[in-house]
Chains A and B, each alone.
Chain A
């Protein structure tokens, strides 16, 4: 109901929406631009545009994919204007198990070498395929949300995901 209040012009409700969604908005922007500075600007502008667009927000609709759609558009715009997109990298602790960090359960599932190989393959993907994988697996959005965020049909999300996974399998195998 925060979105409904914000839609009617309640800035405090919108502030609550910003605080509740800034994490996912920033993460989305970062995964799509690869740059912390770009991600901050993109996410912030996304919220400002969302505020302006709220009168068009349909009552009862999901706020998160609607917001992320605006953020994804901004990220796309930023990529086009700066003509850059940094490759994603692994956290230092995740790459250096000997550096004192306690291996996480995650690390036991996918070893360092495998993770590096997988990420390298992801970074090599075409932008559209990489965006779909980022939404589906790094942001853990549903197919439906991914379709809304990227502005494509659900069938397109399915086909791009399948194509991207096939490419990854071809490069790193399917252990």
Chain B
């Protein structure tokens, strides 16, 4: 610890911080009916996908053109189309994908720590990451040259702090599909920006990165997301192979 750091610790001890009041009575009075239940009520909010389009007319969903602002739902998925694309800083292209995804672990460690059954993958991934909100990422290729990126996220409670936000520029197409009967969306065309946003709508720009063609759907309490340089047919074929 440097001298400056040591001085900051000392400074912390001399700050005017009031004594904590006794919070217990107030807290206990507010617990009421919010007793944790063994099987908690889940509100499926798995990945909130917010697609922002500058020009709705370029989107591949015809009825989207009738409204300036429109929401799509796939189970917990949430795609929002608006008319203004927020700026992103730092530039997504500068982001190291490996760092953005989370902690790199072995496949066995991911199985052990995930807390749910992982997807059965026909081909062993080149890298596995444990990211925020219990998301497990399977990377084929390298962070710099992604062949395929598969994400598996358990459904979240409504007050979970993180959701995934997608920012889609005008050149990105959004198509409604189905995977094993479940509603799915396929985003293709120009890359879009993906970043984390917390429950208060605060964006975490450091997590921003560019994503390419993406197929996303909800199945068995998980949101599954495929990303790569994929055609719709290829994405659906891979999706059908996962179970």
Contacts and interface: CB of A to CB of B under 8 A. Distances in A.
B5 interface: yes
A110 B8 CA distance: 9
B9 interface: yes
Given A44-B30, A76-B202, A151-B161, A18 B24 contact: yes
A113 interface: no
Contact of A27 (B7, B8, B20, B102): B20
Given A153-B99, A165-B4, A73 B23 contact: no
Contacts of B3: 174-175
Interface in A43-62: 43-44, 47-49, 51-56, 58
Closest 8 CB pairs of A and B: A138-B12, A26-B20, A94-B14, A137-B8, A55-B36, A47-B27, A22-B23, A91-B16
Contacts of A26: 20-21, 23
Interface in A133-157: 133, 136-140, 151-153, 155-156
B66 interface: no
A40 B21 contact: yes
A14 B159 CA distance: 20
B67 interface: no
A138 B30 CA distance: 30
Interface of A: 7-9, 11, 14-15, 18-19, 22-23, 25-27, 30-31, 36, 39-40, 43-44, 47-49, 51-56, 58, 69, 73, 76-77, 80, 88-92, 94, 106-107, 109-110, 114-115, 118-119, 122, 133, 136-140, 151-153, 155-156, 165, 168-169, 174-175
A19 B24 contact: yes
Contacts of A11: 28, 31, 35
Interface in B119-174: 132, 157, 159, 161-162
Contact of B11 (A22, A58, A119): A119
A140 B23 contact: no
A88 B16 contact: yes
A56 B158 CA distance: 12
Nearest to A133: B8
Q: Please classify the interface of chain A as helix (H, G, I), strand (E, B), loop, or mixed, using the class held by over half of its residues.
A: helix
B9 A140 contact: yes
9 contacts: A18-B27, A31-B17, A51-B27, A118-B8, A119-B15, A137-B8, A137-B9, A152-B206, A165-B4
B200 A51 contact: no
B84 interface: no
A94 B16 CA distance: 9
A140 B10 CA distance: 11
Given A7-B36, A44-B26, 5 more contacts: A44-B23, A55-B36, A76-B200, A115-B10, A138-B12
Contacts of A136: 5, 8
Contacts of B6: 109
A151 B199 CA distance: 12
Given A52-B34, A140-B9, A43 B20 contact: yes
B22 interface: yes
A39 B36 CA distance: 25
